[in-house]
Structures are given as C-alpha cells and as structure tokens.
Amino acid sequence: MSVIRGLEPKPGRIYSDERTVYITPDIYVIKAGDKYDIMQNEDGLPKLRISAYYKNILNNGNGASKDVKAYVQEKLRSAAWLIKSIHQRQRTIYRVTESIVRLQRDFLENGITHLKPLVLRNVAEDIEMHESTVSRVTTNKYVHTPQGLFELKFFFNSPINRMDGDSIASESVKEHIRINIKSEDMNKPYSDQAIVEILENLNIKIARRTVAKYRESMGILPSRKRKKPC
C-alpha cells in the first residue's frame, strides 16, 4: 500500500504543467432532413432580470427621497440596457451563423475540401450589418457542426484562383495537402513540388513556396523528415 501511494496516477504530468482547455460550443448546427437547424448553447449564460424591489421604490415610493428615486431610475436604465445588449448580441451570433450555414452549405454536406472563399463583407451584406460587428461576434465563438467543432472565424477564407478561373478557399487547399500527405508512401513522401503537381490535377494552381507555407502552418514536416528510415 505504501508503494502504491507513492506512485503517480498521471505520469504525463511530470513533463508538462499545462492545463487542458476544453472548448464549449456557443452554437450548434444540426442537420434535420434536408435543412440545418441552429441552436444556441445557453448553458452558463446568466438569466438576468431586474429585481422587483427597485421597481417598487419607483412605483410606491416606500419613503424614498427624490434623489434616491433618481439614482434608482438611472441604474434601472443601465440594467435594462445591459440585458438588451446581451440578447441583441446573442441574436447577432445566431444571424451570423445562419448566414454562414446558407453560404457554406457545401462544406456542411461534404467537408473542408468544399469550403468556399468567404470574407466578412459577404456575411455583413447578407445580414445587413457592419463588418466590424460581424468580426466582433465571431471572435472566440465556436460552432459545432456535422463536420466538427470550428471557430466562427474559420469560415472566412481568402480565395485562391483555380486554373479554370473559379476560386477555392485557402483552407480547402490546406485540407487537400493534408489528405495527400496522410495517404502518401512513407518510403517516398511527396515533395512540395510533387504536391504542386497533384493540386494541378485537381484544377488548383499554386506556387511551391505557397505549398511549403501551408504545410508549415499545419505543423507538417518537409518530405526529407517524413521519410521512413530504412
């Protein structure tokens, strides 16, 4: 028993003291038949209301002086504004997600390789709001979709031109690179130039240095370091 008590139940703890941070989705996108339902996660969201005690001070007086009533009135207005702002923010997040679902339906159906180029302006125009508002509500907000959990900002991607003049999202290109490297022969891993040629067969034309940049951003080693030792 004394030996068992001296053992470390979590042996990995001696190598790192970093705490795991779990992400809770702010909103859920659930497929229901041919459409997608949007549900907000209100767990942990405070249920704010104004106490009737302070309303009674204004309505009935309760012997309160004029200055006290003016003070309470001012604070009630501030409280009402705060509650309204929270509800409005939740509504904005919902509308932004609704727009993303509408504009990125191919992604929801088929995955990251079908992600479309999208910028803040597209969503802002769709829901008739300012770009800065869309930017604020998508920061550190996460959505759970049939394709996994993503930050709302993930859906905004710069376009890369295809060889036929069409465009594809940069995240889609990264996913194509990741898929090809994952399925490569470890004895003969793809070089960056080989990946360029593979992408050309998919009607995607990008420079070798762009492939290298995307590969590095995903934490993937160059081909010489991916090669399986003999």
Q: Is 180 exposed, middle or buried (0-12, 13-18, 19+ CB in 10 A)?
A: middle
**CATH 1.10.10.60 spans which residues of the chain?**
159-226
Say how far apart CA 81 and CA 186 lie, in whole Å: 60
Q: Which residue has the higher pLDDT, 159 or 125?
A: 125
What pLDDT sits at residue 50? Answer: 83
**Mean pLDDT lowest among 46-50, 87-91, 195-199:** 46-50
What pLDDT sits at residue 62? Answer: 61
User: Which of 176, 169, 108 lies closest to 143, judged by CA?
Assistant: 108
With vertex at residue 38, the alpha carbon angle to CA 34 and CA 43, rounded to the nearest 5 degrees, is 145
What region does 215 belong to: left with phi over 0, alpha with psi -120 to 50, or beta? alpha
Confidence of residue 63 (pLDDT cuts 50, 70, 90): low
Q: For 12-41, what is the mean pLDDT?
A: 87
The H-or-E segment that residue 167 falls in is: strand 167-169
CB 1 within 8 A of CB 11: no
Q: For 137-142, what is the mean pLDDT?
A: 92
Q: Is the pLDDT of residue 45 over 80?
A: no
Say how far apart CA 196 and CA 208 lie, in whole Å: 6
Supply the DSSP string of 78-147, one letter for each residue.
HHHHHHHHHHHHHHHHHHHHHHHHHHTHHHHHH-GGGPPPB-HHHHHHHHT--HHHHHHHHTT-EEEETT
Confidence of residue 215 (pLDDT cuts 50, 70, 90): very high
Q: For 44-70, what is the mean pLDDT?
A: 76
Average pLDDT, the chain: 88
Say how far apart CA 93 and CA 28 lie, in whole Å: 11
What pLDDT sits at residue 175? Answer: 92
CB 137 within 8 A of CB 90: no
Confidence of residue 31 (pLDDT cuts 50, 70, 90): very high
Q: Which CATH number fits domain 159-226: 1.10.10.60, 1.10.510.10, 3.40.190.10, 3.40.50.10490?
A: 1.10.10.60
Query: What is the Cα gyration radius of the chain?
Result: 26
Q: Which residue has the higher pLDDT, 115 or 18?
A: 115
Could you read off the pLDDT of 146-171 as tens digits, one per residue? 999 999 999 998 888 777 778 888 89
Sequence-separated (6 or more) residues with CB below 8 Å from residue 40: 26, 27, 28, 90, 93, 94
CA dihedral sign of residues 180, 183, 185, 189: positive
Q: Is the pLDDT of residue 99 over 90?
A: yes
8-state DSSP, 204 = B
